[in-house]
Structure 1
Amino acid sequence: MSVKLKVITIGACFFLGEIVSAQQKRNDTINTREIEEVVVVAYGKQKKETVVGSNTLISAKKLEQRSITNIAQAIDGAGPGIQVSTSTGQPGSAPSVRIRGFSSVNLSNEPLYVVDGSPYPTGIAFLNPNDIESMTILKDAASTSLYGSSAANGVVLITTKKGKRGRDVINFTALTGVTERAIPEYDRVNAYQYYPLVWESLRNGYRTSNPTATVATANAYASNNLITVLKNNVFNVPDNQLVVDGVLNPNASLKYTDLDWQKDLVKKGFRQSYDLNYSGGTDKTTYFASIGYLNETGYIIKSDYERLTSRLNIDSQMKDWLKVGVNLSAASSFGNNAVDGASNNSSYINPFSWTRSMGPIYSPYAHDANGNTLYDADGQKVYDITAIRGADAASGRHVIQETLLNKDFSKTFLINSRSYAEFKLAKGLTATMNVAYDIRNFKNSTYTNKIIGDAAPAGAASRTAVTNQTITFNQIINYRKSFGNHNFDLTGGHESIKYIYEYLYGYKQGQVASDNDELVNFITPTSLTSQTDNYRKESYFARLNYDFSEKYLLSGSIRTDGSSRFAPDRRWGTFWSVGAGWRVNKEAFLANVKFVNDFKIRGSYGEVGNDQNFTNSALSYYAYQSLYSLGYNNATEAGILLGLVSDPNITWETNKQFDIGVDFAFWNNRISGSIEYYKRSTTDLIFAVPTPVSVGVPGNSIYTNVGDMFNKGIEATLNLSVIKSNDFGWDLTANASTIKNELTRLPDGQTQIINGTKKLMVGQSIYDYWLRQWYGVDPSDGSPLFLVDDAYANTTATDIRTVNGVLVTTNYTKAKYDYSGSAIPKLYGSFGTTLRYKNLSLNTMFTYQIGGKTYDSNYASLMSAYTQGGALSTDILNRWTTPGQITDVPRMDATTYISSNAASSRWLVNSDFISLRSASLAYTFDVEDISQYGIRGLKLFVSGENIWSKTARKGLEPVQSFNGTTTNRYTPARIYSLGLNVTF
């Protein structure tokens, strides 16, 4: 018997309109059923078969059994064309996402997040993954253009769960697990290896500075000055006898061995989450309510995150012509923040910088002259906060003590509301009004102790309060009509957005009473400031979808936006798209080709804009206005400075995107996938254009629209159902993407822009490295070698020589700069598998990258040819020591080390990696076995995140940033969890 079903798919999750037996589901024999799938699109829904845009669906099923705190983590590896820079290990942190490359240099490249139909400005970190029904990632202009000026970087549509008509359902999920460091530390030398290496630097440096000196004289100098430089001798022999003639004294033994700074900072973390939801519905009303609790402690002390979420979604068919709904959610969080390192790379209180770079000869604890550990009255080890260390080892600071004494707390509370009323005005004609109100209150409090560190001996505290409010109001008309085989879907609407940002900050010094970090307990107010900013956007939009018998597909959209960021005569922009599709499998000539289930050719072209989040914060709200800076007062005399000079004609960056693709499914959908090509060109890039110093413009530049660039690439997805039977199933999925980024126009008269390790030029990508060209090591004397800059090629100097027929220099200031590869990969993607045997299932997902380079400054800091208390990589053991030796590590030398350590292409390393991003093993109990206990579903599972990775170098984190640079940041955490899901 043929059964007709309607299945609404949001993501890839199917809700069956009629109940089928568990055996029928297991058999997956749906070829006798007519299936209609509906997917979420901008401002509505659409049959999947008639969609001409490019998108990626992430269903609730893919979020289950994963220990993710931020739902953006689920985007990693979800589909082609999506790059993710992994979040830090700080609990609650969020990753960065790029969709089809990079649309801007000085504006945001983050996608627009839309939750239940309205932009979500309060941060997706506060969305509970268990409340999510699906995420749809819109990539091309046909999919995104209806969001106009906010859609240049793609759009992520998030739909939360709703109730279903029928019996009420209670669902409970619990996970508990541990967190630990996922990225291993670089290998570093120990104390026995360390002293001879520094001795060697001193000896070689003396000989370089004193060419006529004998080896014996240089050796004696190094032995006599070794501890003078390092300030500490952890061995039981006299300082000048510790290293003799380059050899550690064989009679030396350690006075104490507690030299590990990580022991008191790094530990196992703990993670637990509990989620309860209740859903159901009558013929007229459906409801979904949930509450969730998450508590995660990081693997660094005093880093944790606690979040409580709640949600209520109600939809009611009040009348035949009226449907209303409300979507309310609230969340609160508390974070104990470690120094993440990304914004405090070299800070003395950065635990990652400190523990990585601290030489292996300094103990965090105090000892007496004989090396005995000192204890306080409570029997605890005393931290040595008065230690004198070498110049590279931060004397007078102590990361453990300061971490324990300092405080950095963040609290957030937010409310998000969505409500709508849908009116059926006539057959096929509906009108919908949507109102969204989002408010987020953020508070941060810090305390810097008065015993040791930046605020000693006074102590200091700060308070920050930020309130964000957004009101979104839109009215949408939709008309659907069919004439025979001609189907029309017309949508039109108006939207207004009002955003208010309020900021308050206060900082005081001079602590009065101990154990009180409220501002009233401090004497001197050092800073007190506040700020209020406003942003408005008004929009009108329309879309027409047409299909002929669901075979020939056409789509067109247009949107006009007015943004308060720009001048009245420049603030309105029009964005549009056109798309077409051809479902070849619907043609008569394929009617008898049974193995073809789907074959669609689609293409689109359109324009969207970008006015989001300038790198210069003042431009974010008042891009066209010149601004003055207040607060430059002299006692009672007011002071005002010109802070920003703007271009009154500044306007949007525009993204023009072309996309063509093929979707296919063969052999009863056992093989399916897609392949597509895209090119997205950004015009009117905003750059800071230099001005003469004499003009008196702050920063000597004015931001204006003066650049162009493009991204292009190929994306492919393949899904294989290898085995499909009652008891056993095996599915494979893989995706791959290429990307090429290139600048095609820069400001007039400005042929290059150099910023750190990058140089922007026409014909190059925004992430191409511009570095001194490292040549290697001279086998004759171990000198560091660079290619010579052309300006010095015909000069004579002792620091220029010819090696292997190549003109090189030992002086980094004369080195040639050139392009040295790119941070952008040549190929990236993911692959995974699902195995099912009876009630047992295994899911895995790997991510990978081929090509691209990382500038590993973290490693560079461990390869100094002359360290004065800093740590050294074990690779330094391969340094040059003997004439004729072939190596890539220069000689240790206290005189020439600046050239050896200089920023250059030496520190580039391949970014290739493969990572087991997530895996889960689950057992689902048969309903027949548990129904007698009133349980409708029961599942036990174990899962892991960031389980394993293989990189070019131990300690390397190649996906730390899109621009390929590294920092001493809080590296990602590995999470192992045990979970339970039960449904009543």
Structure 2
Amino acid sequence: MKIYSLLVCITISKLFSFSTYSQNISISVNEVSVKKVIEEIEQKSEYTFFYNNSLIDISKTVSITATKEKIKKVLNRLFRSTNIDFKIYKNHVVLFPKNSKASPRAIKKLLDELDQRAKEQTKRSSEILKTPVSQSTVKGVVSASDGTPLPGVNILIKGTNAGALTDFDGNYTIAAKPGDVLVFSYVGFVTQEVLVNTNTVNITLQEDVSSLEEVVVVAYGVSSKEALTGSVTQIKSEEIAKRPIANLSSAIEGASPGVIVTAASGQPGAGQNVRIRGFGSFSASNAPLYVVDGIPTNGALNNINPADIENISILKDASSTALYGNKATNGVIIVTTKKGKSEVGEVSINISTGVTGRSIPEYDRIDAFDYYPIMWEALRNSNAIPGVDSQTDLDAANLDATNSIFSVLGYNPFNVPNNQIVGTDGRLNPNAQLLYNDFDWEGAITRTGLRRNADLSYQGASKNADYFVSLGYLNEDGYLIKTDFERITARVNVNFQAKPWLKLGANLAGNRSEGNQANIGGSGSFRNAFRFTRGIGPIYPIFAHDPVTGDFILDENGEREFDLNDNRPSGASTGRHIVVERLLDVDFDERSAINLRSYADITLADGLSFRANISYEEQNFYNTFFWNKTIGDGAPDGLGFKQYVRRKTTAFNQLFNYNKYFGEHNIDLLAGHESQQLVIDDFNGTRTLQVADGNLELINFVNTTDLESQRDEVNDESYFGRFNYNYGGKYYFSSSIRTDGSPRFAEERRWGTFWSVGGSWSIDKEDFISNISWINQLKLRSSYGELGNSRIQDDDNNDLYYPSLATFALANNNQGEPGVLRSNLGAPDLEWETSANFDVALEFGLFNRFRATVEYYNKESRNLIFNVPVALSDGAESKLENIGTLFNRGVEISLSYDILKTKDFSWNLTVNGATLKNEFSKLPQEEIINGTKKLRVGKGLFDYWIRDWYGVDPTDGSGLFVAEDPNATGVRIINGVAVTPFANNARFHYAGSAIPDLTGSINNQITYKQFSLTTLFTYQLGGDTLDFNYASIMSSGNYGAAKSVDILGRWQQPGDITDVPRMDAALASEWSGTSDRWLTDASFFNLRQVNLTYQFDSSLAKKLGVSSLNMYASAENIFSINARKGLNVQQQFNGNTSNAFTPARVITFGLNLKL
């Protein structure tokens, strides 16, 4: 709760009745309300009470007797069994909820200012009486940005002492003449000046963020932003609402420096992968921990409706994350869902609809007219090369290529004979015209998708309870045919103050979703729709055509027949047809989940409370998978697969909290215990030979090829504590410790202890700084701690729950005889991976316009787990051991500047950026080859280790690598360098890194009257991507495969200077080998999101019967600028491109109203 909300919108008596005050109170009342007691104390003394009756319960019945007792003693007794706490300053008593983060210094400062304003108002009263009658009267209302009237706002005529104050409803009246400038000032808000040119001046004041105590959700509680000693970024519901997103991970992108997110898949309903401050492990998970409403979750974030989210906190350093222990080494993302706020029940309705399409265009490829001559050249050069072989051999090769090219490619879409498509000069027959133009495979499998979304919620609050109820519906048809997603979510969140000392709450959420998946398999799979359409040559039609006339061939129903001809060469996916397979194959997911979180909060004594949380989460996943028997992987029998997975998670924690002020000193103690149980049941079966068409149940298949089930059960136990201290709102110290027990490790190594310490200094509160008006904030903070990681994974990123134990694989049967094989040696000496985290930051704000944070971090991950080779006599190839250390270090900067701030127009620009250096300092072996990377001390996790491409020999057009063995066959010496055209003799070397030099985002927020515009740009500078997709269409051969337009720049004759080798089917595989030839600058600049909103005037909204109404238009993934058309740099963290489902561009129009 912000400080100003404790004192404005307020029920205050005697607002400016300041004078001397007595020390002792006498009172005797029986069974009366707290309000009556307050009124009697005010009548019998000179104390004035300040409170907000929507925050505290003043209707509670109490009894109290006191005789000449000090006010503090009386109030301690009075409020002992209530939810009310208080602060006394001079003759002012401020009441607020217990456990509030309100700072005594902030309250004192505000009361001082009110006191001073009262004196100034008294002084001005006489001057106002002397105002000439010729002046006119200016009236108006002053309110906050949310429409709340502001009482006690100071209005001054600039250059004079004449002024006024607003009343309880924000109204004011002042004598002023046209041309005067009114200055509106208020504690916690930015001062605003307005020129008088009318008799009515209504003002909306903007909050001064630097002067307000924002509440931030942290581990097992909340904290004021001022009190944070760690690195925390909070995303509010208002920011999420500006982006009509379908999943939570989209809201995280661009929100905080040092947080990187992969590009979203175009698959409807798919999420994104998130990494915080680099990559801290090789064999364990690098994903952050997700916590929902205080409980760590194993659930999919797509189960949460974004409209239900109140805020998201991103915890990045040890001080903020250590309380989560072994789960927190990769950072923590805390999601808090909404609860009721409004005293009057409020209905919110959001309806939107939009269209989706492919956001990243395809690589440019040559058409049919260029394709035949190019492939003719590849065939010819495989027999004779211009300038190298004799003219006789070249003439023979030319003739052979002309006569044979059709038989090699298999299709002739032109109106000329098969042996006359390309002449012996390598040119396309000038008379050649296309018989048909049926080559748009991408168009055949894509469409304009449609997204429909509706959210309905009802929320409210009373003295003793609050409630939030919501229902959400999302339906999206993907831009790839036969992909869709439908989700229904529901939530009920109720909190109830059962007794003054007891608060209860329950949050029940459920969802169900289903959808057809893309079923694209791996990047190289023939059923991968993006691989197929990107890679098939431009002469192969979708439908069957008459070879003479080019007309479509129709079936008995008059429908066009698909071309299922097997004459295509391997480069054109022989025997496959992606459109038919998309239509006939099935990959259908059904998911359901239910989640219950409840708590009891008990006040045991003044400042001491106990809270118990319990949660149960059940997720069910059901998949139906089918390969048709007509064409593709399932032909000719058909294949059916069913899988059912159930995950049940039960969590229980108990928290003791003690918070107490001792003058300027404040301590906050937390002690807790947490247990969590995860049970996973997995059943799946595969059968082949479908009997009846259309029936996908396994009973309709004959042969069982696989049938298995599995259960995993994991129980984690934890004990933890935290100590926070601050003095005078200037000096803060925080420490935490947690001990975790995990069954993943052997009994003697099962427990691990993790801890952190942190501190901060609010320098702006010091006397030598506080009087400098242009410094709004100046804070230094630092932290250090050690965290753990127990999420060990296999090579396919599946969690390993029993790595310390020797495990055995069943179903290795031999002709009916049962067989069991050992699948894992077991690692009884395995220990926790740990990370030592250091963080230091400077936060500052200047001129009420500029805010910045500059932060340095260093994370050292120790005891990294690797698969270490063992002797074959041990019965396995490797075992897990703790041998490795990896550093992640970098600088994060966040800058925010209010470019313009006027009554009708405001513009805020926020820019953030982060660097990352990733480096091993210890490994189990001198070097470890990991795909296109090599791990080595002094190198990083994603440093490329690939062939050293030299270029193209201008004499014969050969592609060349730097040679590993200068004496090997085929080696040439060019400019003193030994080079080779053969990939198997190429030298490997380090060639760049997938980790960029700088990542970040640029966020604009512009408002003009009732319009608001937000834009989000994301960017990356430096780093390299290994573009396998581009390599696949730059092959110098591979008959039937598509070719990039860049292939037109190939070498053709001696003396040509180019970086594209000659076309040569015989050597194409050599030159297409993985090398730094395919490394591409990974820098990009994306316009990630744009949102335009129009807020209708409140008077119009009321006429329509609603309290608030706005319309918006939004777009996601608008454009991307990078090194190459078609390139998707953000596919994977490791920098390799693949034939992935390209992200969708989404354009949405919506309406949001409140009743």
Superposition TM-score tier, normalisation by shorter sequence:
over 0.9
Decide whether the 8 Å contact of 1:4 with 1:33 is kept in 2.
no
- 1:47 is displaced (CA, Å) by 1.7
Contact 1:653-1:705 at 8 Å conserved across structures: yes
Which of 436, 441, 454 is the matching residue for 1:256? 436
Partner of 1:118: 295
Aligned residues: 970
Q: Residue 19 of structure 1: CA displacement?
A: 4.9
Shift of 1:378: 2.8
Q: What residue in structure 1 maps to residue 543 of structure 2?
A: 365
Offset from partner CA, 1:734-762 (integer Å, 9 cap, x none): 00000000011111xx1111121110111
Specify which of 745, 749, 771 is matched with residue 570 of structure 1: 749
Query: Residue 363 of structure 1 aligns to which amino acid in structure 2?
Result: P
Query: Which one is further off, 735-744 or 233-242?
Result: 233-242
Partner of 2:223: 46
For residues 112-261 of structure 1, what are the structure 2 equivalents within 5 Å?
112-207=289-384, 211-212=389-390, 213-244=392-423, 245-261=425-441
Conserved in 1, the CA contact under 8 Å of 2:210 and 2:845? Answer: no
Pair 34,653 (structure 1): closer, same or farther in 2 beyond 3 Å: closer
Would you say 1:919 and 2:1096 are equivalent positions? no
**Aligned-residue offset at 1:348:** 1.6
- 1:951-972 Cα offsets, whole Å, 9 max, x none, are 1000000011000001101100
In structure 2, the CA distance between the partners of 1:166 and 1:391, relative to structure 1 (3 Å rule), is: same
Shift of 1:334: 0.5
Counterparts of 1:54 and 1:560, CA distance in 2 = 22
970-979 or 519-528, larger mean C-alpha shift:
519-528
SS at structure 1 position matched to 2:384: helix
1:354 alignment partner in structure 2:
532
- Matching residue of 1:846: 1017
**Corresponding residue of 1:325:** 505
**Would the aligned equivalents of 1:208 and 1:895 in 2 still touch at CA under 8 Å?**
no
Q: 1:16 to 1:59 in 2, by over 3 A?
A: same
Which is worse superposed, 685-694 or 291-300?
A: 685-694
Q: Tell whether 2:1010 aligns with 1:830.
A: no
| Alpha-carbon distance in 1 for matches of 2:653, 2:884 | 34
Contact 1:165 1:283 survives alignment (8 Å): no
- The question of 1:896 aligning with 2:1067 is answered yes
1:805-820 to 2 correspondences below 5 Å: 805-820=976-991
1:686 aligns with: 865
Aligned residue for 1:121, secondary structure, equals coil
The separation in 2 between residues aligned to 1:367 and 1:234, in whole angstroms, is 9
Is 2:766 the partner of 1:553?
Answer: no
Cα distance change of structure 1 residues 32 and 195 upon mapping to structure 2, 3 Å threshold: closer
Q: Tell whether the 8 Å contact from 2:625 to 2:642 is kept in structure 1 after alignment.
A: yes
Correspondences of 1:622-661 after superposition (within 5 Å): 622-661=802-841
Deviations 1:860-880, CA, capped at 9 Å, x for gaps:
000111121000000000001
Q: C-alpha displacement at 1:772, in angstroms?
A: 0.5
Contact 1:632 1:639 in 2 (8 A): yes
Alignment CA distance shift 1:233-1:463 (3 Å): same
Amino acid paired to 1:530: S
Q: CA deviation at 1:924?
A: 0.1
SS state of the match for residue 884, structure 1?
A: coil
Identity %: 46
Distance (whole Å) between structure 2 residues aligned to residue 30 and residue 263 of structure 1: 51
Q: Say which of 842, 847, 863 aligns to 2:1034.
A: 863
Q: State how far apart, in whole Å, the 2-side matches of 1:101 and 1:796 are.
A: 42
- Kindly tell me: are residues 9 and 718 of structure 1, through their superposed partners in 2, closer, same or farther at Cα, counting changes over 3 Å? farther
C-alpha separation in 1, matches of 2:337 and 2:1037: 57
Contact 2:385 2:956 in 1 (8 A): no
Aligned position for 1:764: 939
The answer on 1:720 being equivalent to 2:890 is no
Q: Matched residues in 2 for 1:515 and 1:801: separation?
A: 61
Q: Residue 208 of structure 1: CA displacement?
A: 5.4
Bigger relative contact order, structure 1 or 2 (CA pairs below 8 A, ≥6 apart): 1
Query: In structure 2, what is the equivalent of residue 95 of structure 1?
Result: 272
8 Å CA contact retained: 1:108, 1:615: no
More displaced, 531-540 or 365-374? 365-374
Which amino acid in 2 is paired with 1:360? P
Instruction: List aligned pairs for 1:476-491, cutoff 5 A.
Output: 476-491=655-670
Classify 1:738/1:619 alpha carbon distance in 2 versus 1 (closer, same or farther; 3 Å). closer
- For residue 664 of structure 1, what is the aligned residue in structure 2? 844
- Shift in Å, 1:35: 3.8
Q: Pick closer, same or farther for the CA change 1:806–1:864 going to 2, 3 Å.
A: same
Question: What is residue 619 of structure 2 aligned with on the other side?
Answer: 440
Q: CA deviation at 1:32?
A: 12
Preserved CA contact (<8 Å) 1:4 1:35: no
Amino acid at match of 2:543: Y
Q: Which stretch shifts more, 43-52 or 571-580?
A: 43-52
Inter-partner Cα distance in structure 2 for 1:87 and 1:423: 43
Q: Give the match for residue 784 of structure 1.
A: 959
How many angstroms apart in 1 are the aligned matches of 2:208 and 2:444? 61
**Structure 1 segment 337-416 matched on structure 2, within 5 A:** 337-339=517-519, 341=520, 343-370=521-548, 371-416=550-595
Change in Cα spacing, 1:31 to 1:943, as seen in structure 2 (3 Å) is: closer
Aligned residue in 2 for 1:77: 254
Instruction: Please state how far the C-alpha of 1:695 moved relative to its aligned partner.
Output: 3.1
Task: Give the superposition deviation at 1:630.
Answer: 0.2
2:159 is matched with none
For 1:250-290, what per-residue CA distance to the aligned partner results, in whole angstroms no more than 9, with x for missing partners? 11111211111122201100001000000001100000000
After TM superposition, the structure 1 stretch with the greater mean CA deviation from structure 2, 933-942 or 210-219, is 210-219
> CA offsets, 1:838-860, max 9 Å, x none?
00111001000000000000000
In 1, the alpha carbon distance for the partners of 2:786 and 2:1027 equals: 37
1:129-170 deviation digits (Å, cap 9, x = unpaired): 000010000000000000000001100010000101411100
In 1, Cα distance between equivalents of 2:497 and 2:678? 32
Counterparts of 1:787-806 in structure 2, within 5 Å, are: 787-789=962-964, 792-793=965-966, 795=967, 797=969, 799-806=970-977
Work out the CA distance in 1 between the residues paired with 2:342 and 2:417: 84
Residues 1:583 and 2:762 are matched in the alignment: yes
**Residue 334 of structure 1 aligns to a residue in which SS?**
strand
| Aligned pair partner of 1:474 in 630, 648, 653 | 653
The TM-score, its normalising length taken from structure 2, stands at: 0.82
Amino acid at match of 2:252: I
Is the Cα–Cα contact under 8 Å of residues 39 and 48 in structure 1 kept in the other structure? yes
**How far apart in 1 are the matches of 2:630 and 2:755?**
61
Separation in 2 of the partners of 1:46 and 1:55? 11
* CA deviation after TM superposition for structure 1 residue 582, in Å: 0.5
Q: C-alpha distance in 1, partners of 2:413/2:296? A: 60
Secondary structure in 2 aligned to 1:766?
coil
Q: Contact between 1:351 and 1:399, CA under 8 Å: does it hold in 2?
A: yes
Unaligned runs of 5+ in 1: none
User: Does structure 2 retain, via aligned residues, the 8 Å contact 1:313–1:328?
Assistant: yes
Q: CA deviation at 1:36?
A: 3.3
Q: Distance in 2 between matches of 1:182 and 1:18?
A: 42
Cα displacement (A) at 1:675:
0.5
Specify the alignment match of 1:743 in structure 2: 920
Give me the whole-angstrom Cα distance separating, in 1, the residues matched to 2:1148 and 2:864: 45
Aligned to 1:55: 232
CA deviation after TM superposition for structure 1 residue 27, in Å = 3.2
Change in CA separation of 1:935 and 1:22 when aligned onto 2, cut-off 3 Å = farther
What is the DSSP-based 3-state SS (H/G/I as helix, E as strand, rest coil) of the residue aligned with 2:733? strand
- Residues in 2 aligned to 1:675 and 1:162: alpha-carbon distance in whole angstroms: 34
